Amino acid sequence: MDFSLFAELAINGALSGLMYSLVAMGIVIIYKSSSVPNLAQGAMTMLGAYVVLAIANGLGVSMWVAIPLAMGTMFFVGMGIERVALRRLAGRPIIMILMMTLGLDIFIRATTMAIWGGSGLPLSIGISDDPLFLGPVLLSRAYVVGAVMAIALFLVLMFFFRTRRGIVLRAISDDYIASWSIGISVERGVAFSWAMSSVLATTAGVLWGSVQGVSQALALLLLKGLTVAVLGGLDSIGGAILAGLLLGLLEGVASGYLDPLVGGGSRDLVVATILILTILIRPHGLFGRHDIERI
């Protein structure tokens, strides 16, 4: 076995897995604060990247000015989505809310297609193309930057969920009725979680857009993000980071050795296999809370 090749596949895979965690953390935030599985996170990631490009090109500003402006824009987009599409579904069966997020995914993808078309657009955030070596191992600079951002945002979120506002969001997730009864504004809490998730989606969209360009393909990150979120536990921010590392490592190594044998496409096979096995064997994930309901 070529251990240099194995190390390169494993390390770059783990770094890309941390970038998947950015999408997963957006899913986890909404679930952690409202118990709603968000199937529109991939489309929101794509939308965030398009908004960055629209602001940069439309206003003629640098990317580092466009990114925070886009984050602010997406913050209010997230709040608007909750207010217009989801608030009136409060208390309805979860399947209705799930279908609404799926409908949002289709609507956002169709809207971006109508506005920006289907061709990919370049997005550069100034990451050098020069090779980066760790001994004999060649690393992707874009993956390194993305991994650092994922870890930094993970630490911010861990701190946030220990603040008063974070504890309120966790209380809302546990019991809407009890939260209402003690004066917590459930609507505002859920809207804030959607706003935070939209900001995370923009961050993920910028980083992945700098790697593969901005196109409809960014919406497909939903599968990777959802797999990471389910594997780590839908209510665990730390689980999203560790599951991202694990998924990325397995995906990178397996695809590196399987693709030459099967002609490509093994990445999605690995991801789908992990998602199915997690649901069958450990449906609450590696670090998720396992609630037992007694009647």
Q: What is the pLDDT of residue 294?
A: 43
pTM for this predicted structure: 0.90
CA 95, 96, 101, 107 dihedral sign is positive
> What amino acid occupies position 78?
G
Q: Where are the domains of the chain?
A: 3-219
Q: How far, in Å, CA of 9 to CA of 132, rounded?
A: 14
Please tell me whether residue 149 adopts helix, strand or coil conformation: helix
Q: What's the chain's length in residues?
A: 295
Tell me whether strands 132-134 and 137-139 are parallel, antiparallel or unpaired. antiparallel
| CA–centroid distance for 186 within its chain | 23
- What's the pLDDT score for residue 108? 95
Q: Helix, strand or coil for residue 128?
A: coil
Spell out the residues 6+ positions from residue 139 whose beta carbon is closer than 8 angstroms to its own. Answer: 8, 11, 12, 15, 132, 133
Kindly give the confidence (pLDDT) of every residue in the chain, 295 residues in length, as a single tens digit, with 9 standing for 90 and above. Answer: 577 888 899 999 999 999 999 999 999 999 887 778 889 999 999 999 999 999 999 999 999 899 999 999 999 999 999 898 888 887 778 888 889 999 999 999 999 999 998 788 999 888 877 778 887 888 889 999 999 999 999 999 989 888 888 888 778 777 666 777 777 777 788 888 999 999 999 999 999 999 999 999 999 999 999 999 999 988 888 999 999 999 999 998 988 888 787 777 788 888 999 999 999 999 888 887 655 444 4
For residues 64 and 258, give the distance between their C-alpha atoms in angstroms, rounded to a whole number: 39
The answer to whether residues 236 and 217 touch, using CB atoms and an 8 Å cutoff, is: no
Q: Structure tokens of 69?
A: 């402006």
The CA distance from 286 to 281, in Å, is 10
The span from the CA of 43 to the CA of 281, in Å, is: 29
Alpha carbons within 13 angstroms on the beta-carbon side of residue 195 total 14
Write out the two tokens for 134. 């760790």
